[in-house]
């Protein structure tokens, strides 16, 4: 309700004072981007956001993972950010002042569970007594526990460690862990070092557990500069279109941004699904302002938070309305025609 009145005010301000709002521009726009492979790297590298906002100082901050992004948001250090579905559920439940405005990417095999080939893990049952790692609170930790639950495995029958992706790479190279569910670019190091892919986030998506990253904007920024939210989305949509139309050039950009060999960048690209902005407004993703309550993203947030509540990581279950209030496809609707 609070968000609703806020929205009304924001709309009134932007409609009534359209000319004034045009004149009023933020001095700086800070974009926090996740250290993973998606079209934000293209947008950043081509300076598309800057082109949409002449005269504004556009800053990029690289953020290691969802937990760090939540802290950056809580400390009001970014205007735009990106979050996977578990951190989004956490942020919304804990009342962070954010709105979901776009689909950054759907996670396919760019996130996967690597197992040490020598450990002889053929099925989930073989994980019993083994040492696993995943960054707790991330999309992959969520999928790991979901997969174990579906297989009827007790997580207590194995050792699951909380490690960040770069620490997983170190622990893997020392032989301290037998399996890890994490993401590129570090995932590839494990695969090359005596491992192979056992399960991917894409397979889990086809089983009904999609994972994704959503682009977010801070409430205050959106209320003050609604036009700049649209400008930002225009730039990101252009980045996504570039990704879809120019895979070869995109791979070069990603290789440069992440300092990877071109072949690796190409493979990682294929493991991430980019959704063109016009398609993002369908029910599978964000839906529209009218249909968002039944959208795929709200469904995922509901089931993710139910899972986190069960895990005692979240104190309370938010309602469909509350998650629906968080999702704001209307900015995207305004620019997609």
Cβ proximity of 30 and 59 under 8 Å = yes
DSSP secondary structure letter of residue 164: -
List the one residue from 313, 333, 334, 335 that touches another protein (CB under 8 A). 313
Is 133 a binding residue for another protein by CB under 8 A? The answer is yes
Kind and range of the H or E run holding 141 = helix 139-150
| Angstrom distance (rounded) from CA 152 to CA 133 | 19
Is 191 a binding residue for another protein by CB under 8 A? The answer is no
Is 71 a binding residue for another protein by CB under 8 A? The answer is yes
List the one residue from 63, 83, 90, 104 that touches another protein (CB under 8 A). 90
Distance of CA 213 to CAs 6, 30, 82, 227, 290, Å?
25, 18, 6, 23, 22
Q: Output the smallest distance, CB 78 to another protein, in A.
A: 16
Q: Output the smallest distance, CB 267 to another protein, in A.
A: 27
Task: Specify the residue for token string 């070869």.
Answer: 248
Q: Which is nearer to another protein, 259 or 312 (CB)?
A: 312
| Angstrom distance (rounded) from CA 141 to CA 136 | 5
Determine the interface stretch with another protein among 206-214, 284-292, 310-318, 321-329 (rule: CB under 8 A). 310-318
Q: Which is nearer to another protein, 58 or 89 (CB)?
A: 89
Is 67 a binding residue for another protein by CB under 8 A? The answer is yes
List the one residue from 156, 248, 316, 337 that touches another protein (CB under 8 A). 156
Whether the ω angle into residue 232 lies within 30 degrees of 0, i.e. cis, is: no
3-class DSSP state of 159: strand
Of 170, 203, 210, give the one whose Cα is nearest residue 189: 170
Return the residues of window 260-279 that contact another protein according to CB under 8 A. none
Q: Which is nearer to another protein, 58 or 69 (CB)?
A: 69
| Angstrom distance (rounded) from CA 87 to CA 113 | 20
Token duo for residue 229 = 């939210």
| Angstrom distance (rounded) from CA 269 to CA 274 | 9
DSSP secondary structure letter of residue 128: T
List the one residue from 109, 136, 209, 307 that touches another protein (CB under 8 A). 136
Is 163 a binding residue for another protein by CB under 8 A? The answer is yes
| Angstrom distance (rounded) from CA 263 to CA 313 | 39
List the one residue from 56, 119, 170, 293 that touches another protein (CB under 8 A). 170
Is 222 a binding residue for another protein by CB under 8 A? The answer is no
Determine the interface stretch with another protein among 146-154, 174-182, 222-230, 294-302 (rule: CB under 8 A). 174-182
Is 327 a binding residue for another protein by CB under 8 A? The answer is no
For the window 12-51, what string marks contact with another protein as x by the rule CB under 8 A? Answer: ----------------------------------------
Is 91 a binding residue for another protein by CB under 8 A? The answer is yes
Whether the ω angle into residue 56 lies within 30 degrees of 0, i.e. cis, is: no
Determine the interface stretch with another protein among 19-27, 207-215, 248-256, 311-319 (rule: CB under 8 A). 311-319
List the beta strands (DSSP E) in 171-243. Answer: 179-183, 195-200, 212-218
Cβ proximity of 336 and 106 under 8 Å = no
Which residues contribute to the site for another protein (CB under 8 A)?
67, 70-71, 74, 90-91, 94-96, 133, 136-137, 156, 159-163, 167, 170-171, 174, 176-177, 308, 312-315
């Amino acid at each position: 309700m609070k968000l609703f009145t806020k929205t009304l005010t924001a709309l009134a301000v932007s409609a009534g004072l359209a000319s004034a709002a045009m004149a009023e521009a933020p001095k700086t726009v800070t974009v926090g981007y996740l250290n993973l492979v998606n079209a934000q790297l293209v947008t950043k590298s081509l300076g598309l956001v800057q082109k949409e906002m002449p005269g504004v100082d556009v800053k990029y901050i690289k953020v290691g993972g969802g937990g760090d992004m939540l802290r950056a948001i809580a400390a009001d250090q970014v205007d735009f950010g990106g979050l996977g579905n578990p951190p989004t559920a956490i942020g919304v439940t804990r009342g962070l002042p954010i709105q979901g405005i776009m689909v950054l990417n759907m996670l396919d095999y760019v996130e996967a569970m690597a197992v040490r080939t020598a450990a002889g893990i053929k099925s989930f049952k073989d994980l019993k007594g083994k040492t696993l790692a995943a960054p707790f609170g991330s999309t992959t930790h969520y999928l790991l526990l979901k997969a174990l639950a579906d297989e009827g495995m007790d997580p207590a029958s194995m050792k699951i460690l909380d490690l960040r992706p770069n620490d997983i790479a170190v622990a893997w190279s020392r032989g301290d862990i037998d399996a890890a569910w994490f993401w590129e670019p570090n995932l590839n190091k494990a695969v090359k070092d005596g491992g192979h892919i056992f399960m991917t986030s894409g397979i889990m998506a086809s089983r009904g557990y999609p994972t994704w990253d959503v682009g977010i904007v801070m409430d205050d920024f959106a209320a003050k500069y609604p036009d700049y939210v649209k400008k930002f989305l225009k730039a990101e949509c252009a980045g996504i279109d570039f990704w879809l139309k120019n895979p070869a050039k995109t791979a070069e950009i990603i290789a440069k941004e992440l300092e990877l060999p071109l072949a690796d960048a190409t493979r990682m690209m294929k493991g991430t699904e980019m959704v063109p902005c016009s398609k993002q407004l369908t029910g599978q993703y964000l839906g529209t302002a009218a249909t968002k309550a039944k959208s795929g993203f709200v469904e995922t947030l509901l089931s993710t938070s139910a899972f986190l509540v069960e895990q005692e990581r979240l104190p309370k279950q938010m309602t469909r309305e509350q998650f629906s209030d968080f999702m704001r496809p209307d900015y995207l609707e305004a620019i997609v025609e």
